[in-house]
């Protein structure tokens, strides 16, 4: 009898293979009180564990093949940097000395402090970075328990296997990626976890968030995973396997057709040029951007310059980073989003005071930058100085009020004046825009558009704020609906505001990269899309097969059905099916 298990599909495609359960030795951490004369020995024991963990990661780093995706190496490097950071290398030592406790317990206390901070962050990508904290801490704990890295030891011939694990660390992936794995299934993780990012970069189907997957699936059992649908099929018969093998073949042919569009312009059948750009996080993402055929970066996240470190990056460090990306783009535009963090004390891992009661409605985005205008100005100076290297735009996140915008623009002007006084070059005509991701901003978009050079709709937060739901909360994420009439109305208002002010409006949320909504957005007037590199070619294929003149009247009918959510979904389905 077939068993169907649902999870979160984070890397598309179909995989058929035998299960390999990645089991790990579990260990419990207990508190042990120490005598004063035991403290120095315990500190040395902790330091030794950190050193051995670093050596283990370096050994794995050296084994990374040259052709491996750059994301893997960058994740390993970030874990090595975390081992050196005082939040993991020194803070537990202070806890050992202050509380007279064993190293394992001190490390657990520090882990709980760090995770508490990350859990207060509203940004979904930043929340997933607590997985990296756990992976590094677990590696140190293993060294304290005198356990060696297990994956390499238990590995066998895994060609064509589907790995089922609680989670996969970047180090696991290095060990596994040369084995020609068919796919991944993990019990933990989300769409922005490193497991998901690596799976997409490798082009491997992956499903995460399946609780008890290692109990539901058996070793060597043949299963099917559909990364597009987030579905696992076990106990399947030969007929089902043949059907999915046919689907695999169809997917491969479709992928080849998409790849043939890489160097083709994005233009509708009636001649309307559409801008397709990509969202990136690190300079290593540019390889994926080029493979997608995207013509620039519509969203460059800069939070990595601030997290996992005691002090934010200096102006010089930021300048070097931005220039590296600009040069790699070779003339394509780069839109840099200024700092978008949400936890009040995200730069201070030692902070023990109260955290925000509701970080989603607290000090985050632009309001966080305006709380520390010197830090904000430092980033703006770095962006301005980088702008002479190539085309750059600045984008403020989470704009809410007109007063906020005026203050942000004043700080921006101050940064320009300072650079001019210091005889440092910058592009005086650099474009400044803002993200529309709060309902208040969409409703006031007409006023904002008069002061800005462009707007960008961040649908992830816009949908969550409009519908008052957290899409990663399993209790309410079924309510997350990009086609909700209120969401579509806010998108429409923003597009109309840009059109009236004669400035471009882009969309950089996940909705922009979802092929289900491409025709609707084209018909509503969106002409600039920025999405994850893996989705750009699919969007381009739909753009090139569409006619704006045909879509516009159909989309008007969809928007007029605002009181019937079920009707909207039905009409969008018809729109996509050419009905």
DSSP, res 468: T
Q: Are strands 231-234 and 431-436 parallel, antiparallel or unpaired?
A: unpaired
Rama region for 146: left / alpha / beta (φ>0; ψ in -120 to 50; rest): left
On whether the CB atoms of residues 44 and 144 are closer than 8 A, the answer is: no
On whether the CB atoms of residues 557 and 281 are closer than 8 A, the answer is: no
User: What is the edge-to-edge ordering of all strands in the sheet holding 14-22?
Assistant: 3-6, 231-234, 222-226, 14-22, 162-165, 183-186, 206-208, 8-11
Give me 235's structure tokens.
């106990």
Instruction: Please identify which of the residues 508, 532, 555, 569 carries the catalytic annotation.
Output: 508
Does the active-site annotation cover 194? yes
Q: What's the rounded Cα separation, in Å, for the pair 361 and 568?
A: 30
Instruction: Please identify which of the residues 20, 79, 194, 532 carries the catalytic annotation.
Output: 194
Q: What's the rounded Cα separation, in Å, for the pair 122 and 205?
A: 27
Does the active-site annotation cover 508? yes
Q: What are the angstrom distances between the C-alpha of 91 and each of 88, 106, 113?
A: 6, 9, 11
DSSP 193-225: SHHHHHHHHHT--EEE--TTHHHHS-TT-EEEE
Matching residue, tokens 């994740």: 75
On whether the CB atoms of residues 492 and 568 are closer than 8 A, the answer is: no
C-alpha dihedral (113, 118, 122, 123), degrees to nearest 10: 170
Matching residue, tokens 């902790």: 46
Q: What are the angstrom distances between the C-alpha of 240 and each of 7, 163, 244?
A: 20, 21, 6
Cα 219 to the center of its chain, rounded Å: 32
- Which parts of 85-129 fold into alpha helices (H)? 86-89, 91-99, 103-119, 124-128
Q: What's the rounded Cα separation, in Å, for the pair 299 and 251?
A: 29
- Which parts of 217-304 fold into alpha helices (H)? 238-259, 286-292
Nearest to 50 by CA among 112, 96, 92, 100: 92
Q: How many CB atoms lie within 10 A of CB 549?
A: 12
Q: What's the rounded Cα separation, in Å, for the pair 24 and 139?
A: 12
Q: What's the rounded Cα separation, in Å, for the pair 286 and 292?
A: 10
Strand partners, 455: 434, 505
Phi, psi of 392 (to 5 degrees): -135, 145
Name the 3-class secondary structure at 18.
strand
Catalytic residues: 194, 508
């Amino acid at each position: 009898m077939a068993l169907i298990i649902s999870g979160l599909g984070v890397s598309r495609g179909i995989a058929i293979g035998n299960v390999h359960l990645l089991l790990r030795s579990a260990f419990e951490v207990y508190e042990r009180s120490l005598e004063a004369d035991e403290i120095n020995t315990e500190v040395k024991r902790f330091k030794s564990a950190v050193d051995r963990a670093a050596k283990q990661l370096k050994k794995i780093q050296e084994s990374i093949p040259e052709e491996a995706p750059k994301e893997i190496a960058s994740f390993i490097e970030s874990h090595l940097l975390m081992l050196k950071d005082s939040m993991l290398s020194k803070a537990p030592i202070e806890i050992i000395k202050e509380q007279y406790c064993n190293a394992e317990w001190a490390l657990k206390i520090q882990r709980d402090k760090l995770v508490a901070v990350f859990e207060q962050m509203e940004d979904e990508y930043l929340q997933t970075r607590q997985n990296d904290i756990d992976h590094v801490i677990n590696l140190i704990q293993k060294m304290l328990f005198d356990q060696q890295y297990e994956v390499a030891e238990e590995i066998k011939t895994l060609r064509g296997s589907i790995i089922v694990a609680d989670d996969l660390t970047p180090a696991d992936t290095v060990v596994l990626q040369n084995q020609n794995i068919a796919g991944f299934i993990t019990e933990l993780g989300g769409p922005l976890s490193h497991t998901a990012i690596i799976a997409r970069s490798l082009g491997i189907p992956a499903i995460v968030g399946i609780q008890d997957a290692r109990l539901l699936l058996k070793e060597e059992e043949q299963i099917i995973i559909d990364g597009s649908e987030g579905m696992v099929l076990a106990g399947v018969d030969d007929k089902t396997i043949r059907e999915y093998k046919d689907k695999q073949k169809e997917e491969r042919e479709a992928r080849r057709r998409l790849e043939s569009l890489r160097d083709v312009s994005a233009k509708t059948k009636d001649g309307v040029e559409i801008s397709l750009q990509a969202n990136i996080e690190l300079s290593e993402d540019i390889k994926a951007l080029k493979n997608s055929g995207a013509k620039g970066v519509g969203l460059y996240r800069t939070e990595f310059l601030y997290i996992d470190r005691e002090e934010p990056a200096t102006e010089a460090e930021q300048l070097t980073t931005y220039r590296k990306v600009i040069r790699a783009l070779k003339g394509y535009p780069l839109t840099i989003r200024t700092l978008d963090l949400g936890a009040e004390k995200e730069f201070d891992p030692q902070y023990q005071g109260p955290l925000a009661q509701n970080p989603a409605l607290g000090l985050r985005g632009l309001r966080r930058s305006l709380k520390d205008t010197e830090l904000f100005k430092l980033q703006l100076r770095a962006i301005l100085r980088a702008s002479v290297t190539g085309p750059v735009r600045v984008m403020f996140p989470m704009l809410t009020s007109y007063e906020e915008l005026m203050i942000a623009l004043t700080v921006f002007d101050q940064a320009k004046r300072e650079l001019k006084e210091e005889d440092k070059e910058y592009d005086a005509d650099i474009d400044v825009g803002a993200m529309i991701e709060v309902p208040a901003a969409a409703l006031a978009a007409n006023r904002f558009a008069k002061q800005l050079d462009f707007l960008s709709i961040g649908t992830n937060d816009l949908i969550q704020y409009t519908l008052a739901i957290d899409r990663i909360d399993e209790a309410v994420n079924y309510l997350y609906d990009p086609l909700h009439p209120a969401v579509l109305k806010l998108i429409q208002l923003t597009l109309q505001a840009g059109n009236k002010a004669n400035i471009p409006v882009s969309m950089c949320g996940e909705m922009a990269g979802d092929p289900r909504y491409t025709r609707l957005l084209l018909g509503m007037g969106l002409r600039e899309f920025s999405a994850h590199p893996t989705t750009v070619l699919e969007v381009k294929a739909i753009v090139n097969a569409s006619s704006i003149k045909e879509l516009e009247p159909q989309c008007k009918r969809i928007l007029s059905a605002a009181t019937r959510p079920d009707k909207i979904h039905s009409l969008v389905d018809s729109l996509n099916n050419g009905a």
